[in-house]
A and B are shown apart, each in its own frame.
Chain A
Amino acid sequence: MSLTTDRLEMGPVAGSASAHSGTALADPSAPLSGVPYAGLPDPGLPAPRPRIGLATRRSRRDRLAELAAQKTAAGAGWAIVVILAGVLVFLLVQGWPALAAGADDLPAHASDFWTLAGPLAFGSLWASALALSLAAPIAIAVALAITQYAPRRLRTALGGAIDLLAAVPSVVYGLWGLMTVAPLLARVYPWLTAHLGWLPFFAGQPSASGRTILTAAIILALMVVPIMAAVCREVFVRAPASSAEAAYALGATRWETIRLAVLPFARSGIISGAMLGLGRALGETMAVAMVLSPTPFLVTFHLVESSNPNTVAAFIAQTFPEAHGLETSALIALGLILFALTFAVNAAARRVAARAAGK
């Protein structure tokens, strides 16, 4: 599914797709003008003589347009590949020295690079996974509410409102999270530790400021919901009406119809939407940097304590202004790791979505 294709992965995909569409489209342009056998791939053969002059003119113009489209698409595809390679080379060259650096040269006085990178990678994955597991059910519910339950007249307006949420800048989410959500949650967390403390997630001393990884994940979830809901809305709308009728005709209720006819059809689309959201959560910098109060090198699954793991993106943003020399290299190498993480998540998602679609 194209939806899982993250910006980072577009290069080879766009390149090969354009090459394909180029050859595939070049042929049908000729039969349109009524030339028999024009679909034969051998360009060395003289084209059979067309019957009508008018048709020849149009087909020649079509062919020019075809060529232009093909070249543009191929050019764009290659441009992305080149840019991608450039970014990779930059990250590798600039980041490499950090791998051998010691405690005196690394940010936060890490003893070596991996001591620094490991906990941060964990923090990124953990925060994103939390955000996604909060966001996914909400996004699916919102998309279902809009496409299946809301009155027809309201659907466009509601969809627009959700889309608008995606346009809110992350600084705004960060400010709001820091000033409103965190203090609010700070009052909820003691209750969570008191009543759900037997779950390892909620164990420990609750944070007084509320600036915990759970707060960050909730803010991230708010940012992921509109993206995922938009994708889900698209696929839910496209669920075939014939399947829904089949379900109704069997005596299914509204919800049973959704379960039988809409959700199975939408499965791969839902996964794609989730992965798109996950990509956003992994890369999100500002909101996390503002909301989270991190502790260096910490790896913990505790959600509401005042010491929290940091994320790669937020750490880079926080440390970069005062970094120099090998510290900068280390930050760039961290960027490379985030790059690899996002890439791996996307690749996995594509495989999952493809399997779900093929089933």
Chain B
Amino acid sequence: MSELAITGFSASYGSFRAVADVGLTIAARAVTAFIGPSGCGKSTLLRSINRLHETVPGATVSGTVTLGGEDLYGRAVDPVEVRRRVGMVFQRPNPFPGLSIRDNVLAGVKLRRHRLAKAAADNLVEVSLRAANLWDEVKDRLGKSGTSLSGGQQQRLCIARAIAVEPAVLLMDEPCSALDPLSTLAIEDLMASLRQDYTVVIVTHNMQQAARISDATAFFSTDGPRQPGRLIEYGPTTTIFSRPAEQATADYIAGRFG
């Protein structure tokens, strides 16, 4: 089981606390959406799940995050290992410069297994690109540079790259915000199929998107600027969107603030 459990979790940048005292359990094989106004710490929390947060100079965390019962912040845990099990897709597509489409997909795998038979590599490239709904568009030009693709294609390439290493969890930080509606649709379709194999966590500012694709929704907010972000409400997406328990949640979803 790759259930994620976050308890008593806080994250800071130097002396500034960006996320305070968050606790929630993210179900395996489901899509969980993080929503909330800008600056409430969604990205910070997401980046804490794969221990990317600590690569920022001065960044610290407290509390625990467990994946399938295993403490990701345990003393003996190597953050590099955590990141291999928790994949991430960023807001801006970021294929590796100078690498072909094929090599971009294989980049993560090659980090672990330096020798990969060509047939196995070919197969993995095809499977990953198919899973990312990109195969048909690029199968004739796998040797071309990854940065030669359109933005939407690049983002799907980044998804293919992330799932090629078969992580347990896939984190997505506003993966569609730089994309056109058609590419957004392609990625939303993709998420519906990814949910069958992965624990997917997605940050989005698009309420319709959260409602369409997620099973559970967590709403975060702050008490004001330079205040830490807190988890306000968490539950099944249908409940959060139809009968939220908190007034702030209802206001945010209705577009009255944030």
Contact = CB atoms under 8 A, between A and B. Distances in A.
B24 interface: no
Contact of A251 (B81, B92, B145): B81
A296 to B, nearest CB: 47
A359 B96 CA distance: 12
Interface in A261-282: 261, 264-265, 267
A164 interface: no
B99 A264 contact: yes
Interface residues of B, number: 28
B83 interface: yes
Interface residues of A, number: 20
Contact of B165 (A242, A250, A265): A250
B161 interface: yes
Contacts, number: 67
Interface stretch (A180-188, A198-206, A213-221, A252-260): A252-260
Interface of B: 50, 52, 55, 57, 80-84, 87-88, 90, 92, 94-99, 107-108, 111-112, 145, 158, 161-162, 165
A250 B90 contact: no
B80 A253 contact: yes
B96 A264 contact: yes
B112 A247 contact: no
A240 interface: yes
A242 B92 contact: yes
A251 B82 CA distance: 7
A245 B165 contact: no
A250 B87 contact: yes
B97 A265 contact: yes
Given A253-B80, A260-B96, A245 B90 contact: yes
Contacts of A251: 80-84, 108, 111-112, 165
Contacts of A256: 111
A240 B97 CA distance: 9
25 contacts: A152-B57, A240-B97, A245-B52, A246-B90, A248-B55, A248-B83, A249-B52, A249-B87, A249-B90, A250-B83, A250-B87, A250-B111, A250-B162, A250-B165, A251-B82, A251-B165, A252-B80, A252-B111, A253-B80, A260-B96, A260-B107, A261-B96, A261-B97, A265-B98, A359-B98
Identify the 9 closest CB pairs spanning chains A and B, nearest first.
Answer: A264-B98, A251-B84, A250-B108, A249-B88, A242-B94, A251-B83, A246-B94, A265-B97, A251-B80
B238 to A, nearest CB: 31
A242 to B, nearest CB: 4
Contacts of A248: 52, 55, 83
A246 B96 contact: yes
A242, A251, A265 interface centre (most CB from chain B within 10 Å): A251
A243 interface: yes
Contacts of B158: 246
A260 B95 CA distance: 10
Contact of B96 (A152, A247, A253, A267): A247
Nearest to A241: B94
Contacts of B165: 250-251
A256 B107 CA distance: 10
A251 to B, nearest CB: 3
